[in-house]
């Protein structure tokens, strides 16, 4: 319960910060997500395809 309250407090502080929105590379974001999930992708023998728009 303490961890939940700490996390909620931290989230409330983040939600009050000004966030600057900037353009990002979609391909770089997808590549990063796939890399982060790579162990699970390999473990499950999944096939991840990303087709360009």
Per-residue pLDDT of the chain (53 residues; tens, 9 = 90+): 889 999 888 888 877 778 889 999 999 999 999 999 999 999 999 999 998 87
Residue 6 lies in a domain: no
pTM beyond 0.85: no
Q: How many domains does the chain have?
A: 1
Whether 10 is in a domain gets the answer no
SS (H, E, C) the chain: CHHHHHHHHHHHHHCCCCCCCCCCCHHHHHHHHHHHHHHHHHHHCCCCCCCCC
Range of the domain at 47: 21-53
Q: Which residues contact 48 (CB under 8 A, 6 or more apart)?
A: 34, 37, 41
Find out whether 41 and 34 touch, Cβ atoms under 8 Å.
Answer: yes
Within a domain: 29? yes
């Amino acid at each position: 319960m303490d961890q939940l309250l700490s996390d909620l407090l931290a989230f409330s502080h983040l939600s009050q910060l000004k966030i600057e929105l900037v353009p990002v590379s979609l391909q770089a974001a997808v590549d990063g997500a796939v890399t982060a999930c790579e162990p699970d992708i390999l473990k499950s023998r999944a096939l991840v395809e990303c087709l360009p728009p």
